[in-house]
Homo-oligomer: A and B are copies of this chain.
Amino acid sequence: MKALPDAEVCIVGTGLMGTSLAKALRGYVRRLVGSDLSAVNRAAAAPSFDALYTDLTPLANADLIVLAIPVRAILSLLGKLPTIPVKAGALILDIGGTKTDITAAMNRLPETVFAIGGHPMCGKETSGPGDADGGLFVGCTFVLCPTERTTSDALTVARALVEVIRARAILLDPTTHDRAIAAISHLPYLVSASLVGAVMELAEETPAAWELAASGFRDTSRLAVSDVKMKGDALLTNRTAVIAALNALRTEIDMLHALLTSSDDVALREKMESVRTARNTWAERAERTGKQP
């Protein structure tokens, strides 16, 4: 397996994440090529790559293949991989938002290629290579999920990539990753989307709601503008964990509903204090470990 500085890297999907990765890898790999079905994406991504393709032919020469497309597109590509020309000894890394299905598909790959699951915990609500940013990964946690097709050399290359883009690698099994992500990424999205849906409904009767909405609404609803295709794929490939997370959320909302209905001042404030403390503890720990945020 080629070391990262000697590798030809092919990034499949030159949207926001793929092109940001290309910018971050520039100068640290031998050659950077991209593949994207969209002519618009290719045009905007062009300055960040040595060459761009509309099909998967560059996979034949790549030492490292990064899949930066929605989760179900990754699954479809992994399923077709045995029929696509790929260099023997190539390493495949995906950066999809859920890992159980993807790592299972990686386990079924031919023995001539290697594979590891990845998930950089960063992003923007915008999509498309026009907003790509080589600094996007700096300080962020980059989960690596080793598979049956991950050798120690493969892990070394993946770790080198994470280091070059200045992220922080942590190893997790895919089930733990998907449960954690359901709680701290998919649930925040659903909470944000539900909030906007509820305000749409309430503003029918009280249009002033939109007028008064300020920074509190802005931040809490920010994730609702996430890319629908990316996020929809992530939710639908993580259904069990997401539904469990939604159930935990419903329990919390029902509790707050009951405390407000009964005007239980003391218990309401206790609940409010407990979430306040937990959120502060998280933020202080994140700051102490030098992690974003």
Contacts and interface: CB of A to CB of B under 8 A. Distances in A.
B245 A202 contact: yes
Contacts of A192: 191, 220
A29 interface: no
Interface residues of A, number: 98
A291 to B, nearest CB: 8
Contact of A191 (B220, B229, B257, B261): B220
A269 interface: yes
Interface string A180-219: 1111110111111111111111110110111111111111
Given A212-B181, A243-B260, A221 B188 contact: yes
Contacts of A245: 198, 202
Interface in A141-184: 141, 143, 170, 172, 176-177, 179-184
A39 interface: no
Contact of A293 (B123, B179, B215, B231): B215
A9 interface: no
Given A216-B184, A220-B191, A265-B236, A176 B206 contact: yes
Contacts of A176: 206, 208
Given A224-B275, A228-B276, A263-B239, A210 B285 contact: yes
Contact of A212 (B121, B205, B274): B121
Given A214-B140, A286-B213, A193 B272 contact: yes
Given A212-B143, A216-B184, A243-B261, A194 B232 contact: no
A184 B256 contact: no
Contacts of A263: 236, 239
Interface stretch (A41-49, A54-62, A101-109, A247-255): A247-255
A246 B269 contact: no
A225 to B, nearest CB: 5
Contacts of A188: 195, 216-217, 219-221
Contacts of A272: 193, 228, 231-232
A17 interface: no
A258 B176 CA distance: 24
A111 interface: no
A292 interface: yes
Interface string A259-293: 01101010011011111101110110110000011
Given A187-B199, A191-B194, A232-B272, 9 more contacts: A183-B202, A190-B256, A194-B256, A197-B252, A198-B252, A226-B276, A236-B260, A239-B261, A246-B253
Q: 7 closest A-B pairs (Cβ-Cβ)?
A: A197-B252, A188-B220, A194-B252, A198-B248, A196-B275, A184-B213, A183-B202
